[in-house]
Structure 1
């Protein structure tokens, strides 16, 4: 009987061990399942975090793309502005260079014109001097001839005037000697002056004077004379001009 129980005991022990092993296996499965669930949760969290990071990354990349595009546009605008500025500077430089060239050309033309003008003036002066040298003897001869002619005419005129004056004085003096003619008009009186009344007596020497300077009478016994007046006096002190009679200033 005991011999039969031993194998049964052994079987039971084996069964117990099997049960224990199965129990341990179930516990391990539960633990493993829980671990797997925890890992899955962690993985899901990581996935969510990764999705968020990817989302943020895409947003940042979009911002970077936008910034790059803006930067590219700004760079293009800057390059265009620089190119335009360079073109403007080049055009201004060429314009200034052209102006300087024109100024230099105008200065050269001005200097050339001045040189030509000076050359013409010099040639003209030389021509005038040559003509003057050629014509100087003839001019001197003509001037001397004119001077001689004028001198002759002047001398003839003076002699003729003296002769006429002597003739007129002679006629006047002859008229004053006649008793029927107490007074005559002097032929030397001008249009501005009134007639020069001259009286004379027999046996009285009559002297005619032509006034060279003016004289204003200072009293009733003096007469006023102007340059050119003909004054008749019987001597040097007494004189008569037109009707007034008086004393002359000696």
Structure 2
């Protein structure tokens, strides 16, 4: 079914690659007027027919300006994040601060900027990126990542409760492992310990019940659903899409 987002203005962060890019493309294909942003402007090349803008979501003023000037938005997909590999013993203060600034605080600031216009218009859908490796499932060597992504689940539900009577919906995604450039970086980081790149890749695949990783386009389909009126009775949810990892 085409045109599921026809007439909707949508904001996407981290749209240069991976899930963010796939979401921006599919949303545009479904009729949305998309503002795709990324800190690395070069990665936004090739997004034909999509408005693009360089944006560091850690810059509060720039984020607020991009959203207030670029809106009002009918839907927002907060995708920016980073995966640290650490434990409670090895996590540093800098890793903790950066993870919470990017993975959680930037989403709060984005919602804070977008919500006034959504409330004024009485409609809107906000979609935050969490992870199955959060409050839903513990994962080894993902201490601060899991903590920060659990925070996304909590603030998503709290925000949803605050604005449900104003016609705004707030949900988050909890994907399992997705085949993205970010995942390739984690494979490379684990390669030496695993005995090589192929062994590192195989280890990630082995933990997936379906025996494969997700494709970014599969996650993007869920994002379109949450942004569309098809999910009009759905709010405050952490939607798991993990190929059976949390079974």
Q: Higher helix fraction: Structure 1 or Structure 2? A: 1
TM-score range, shorter chain: under 0.3
Normalising by structure 2, we get a TM-score of 0.21
In our comparison, the structure showing a higher alpha carbon Rg is 1
Larger relative contact order, structure 1 or 2 (CA cutoff 8 Å, min sep 6): 2
Normalising by structure 1, we get a TM-score of 0.21
